[in-house]
Structure 1
Amino acid sequence: MTRIVAGTAGGRRLRVPPKGTRPTSDRVREALFSSLEAAFDLDGARVLDLYAGSGALGFEALSRGAGHATFVESDRRAADVLKGNAKELGFGDVVIVNRTAEAFVAVEGEKFDVVFADPPYAVGDEELAKVLAGIVPRLAGEAVLIVERASRSGEPVWPEGVESLRAKRYGDTAVYWGQVRSDG
């Protein structure tokens, strides 16, 4: 069972697509958001949840005060589950995009303060590097990127303009943080 850990929707359950996704565990989300809230103000933040699956990361951010979330998911069944979760939770400012992360970052659009990328573990380093590089023009000043991968995969290649902040392992899962450099 996947649930929202804290905030206005704390304790509420999320439906999970029947197959093909690997929701971030409650333990990892709790630790990730404790760190995120200690370092950054989520209040009103614009959040992007790439490879969204059930939307656990984006919905957790909304529950903790983010003002908007865009969920990008290529699998139609998972996108339908996302729509159901958004309706059930009652969050208003939600956009669900049913396309690949690569296609989403290839077009111009709104800017984001926090980006979560939790690709399937099978997504290779080169493919992930292209997605991360593609999202850079859509990052607000000092935006944070959080990438979840299998711990055996290693840190992602951060694009130009993004610096590595920290990395944390949780068993088979590793979470990597990057931030837009403020060159001022």
Structure 2
Amino acid sequence: MRVIAGKAKRLKLRTVDGLETRPTTDRIKETLFNILNPRLADCDFLDLFSGSGAIGIEALSRGAGSAVFVENGKGAVDCIKYNLHNTGLDIGASILAMDVLSAIRALEVQGKVFDIIFMDPPYNKRLEKQVLEALMNSNIIYYNTLIIVEASIETGFEYLENSRFQIYKEKEYKTNKHVFIELK
């Protein structure tokens, strides 16, 4: 796995040992960032369920102003620290070593607002629903915040129909998809 473009282009990234995380493939990451590219310059990026940190690091490499990584696995947090240091992108980055819902509450207290929020929760556990419900009335988003959920192809988002969120775009791959969500 590597950084695809930007300041840290071609630098290799360490991945987390074991089967706890599923690194996003370079091809899917490139497709995602081709979509996000117009919004990245100086944006504040939140990477939830960060794993190795590859998505947030790619955002920083491509010009995001800051990135917050949220991950509660010790091995994954160590991996993110290593990858940030190795790519030289640790300035402008911070890591919250806690569960995602606690991190959202902590960020609310800090008054931090994000332009882009990416989450890649464990598949088929409905964690994305819990996180979206927490974000729905959170002060860390605003009318222009883009939320991207990486989920299994089978994951449904029907519950968004009666919420403050709407699906802006959906990009399907072989076994997973990216769902782009914004406030109505």
TM-score of the pair, normalised by structure 2: 0.89
Superposition RMSD in Å: 1.6
In structure 1, the partner of 2:144 is 142
In structure 2, the partner of 1:53 is 51
Structure 1 segments unaligned to the other structure (5+ residues): none
For the residue of structure 2 that corresponds to 1:41, the secondary structure is: helix
Query: Could you tell me whether the CA contact under 8 Å between 2:45 and 2:117 is conserved in 1?
Result: yes
One of 154, 159, 167 as aligned partner of 1:152: 154
Percent identical pairs in the alignment equals 34
Query: Could you tell me whether the CA contact under 8 Å between 1:129 and 1:156 is conserved in 2?
Result: no
1:128 Cα deviation from its structure 2 partner: 2.0
Query: Could you tell me whether the CA contact under 8 Å between 2:3 and 2:10 is conserved in 1?
Result: yes
Amino acid at match of 1:47: F
1:56 Cα deviation from its structure 2 partner: 1.0
Measure the CA separation in 2 of the matches of 1:14 and 1:102: 27
Amino acid at match of 2:25: S
For the residue of structure 1 that corresponds to 2:154, the secondary structure is: helix
In structure 2, the partner of 1:93 is 92
1:173 Cα deviation from its structure 2 partner: 1.2
In structure 1, the partner of 2:71 is 73
In structure 2, the partner of 1:83 is 81
Q: Output one character per residue of 1:2-53: Cα deviation in whole Å (capped at 9) or x when no partner.
A: 111111111111101102110111111100110112xx32111000000000
In structure 2, the partner of 1:12 is 11
In structure 2, the partner of 1:172 is 175
Measure the CA separation in 1 of the matches of 2:116 and 2:67: 9
For the residue of structure 1 that corresponds to 2:34, the secondary structure is: helix
TM-score of the pair, normalised by structure 1: 0.89
**Number of aligned positions between the proteins:** 176
Structure 2 segments unaligned to the other structure (5+ residues): none
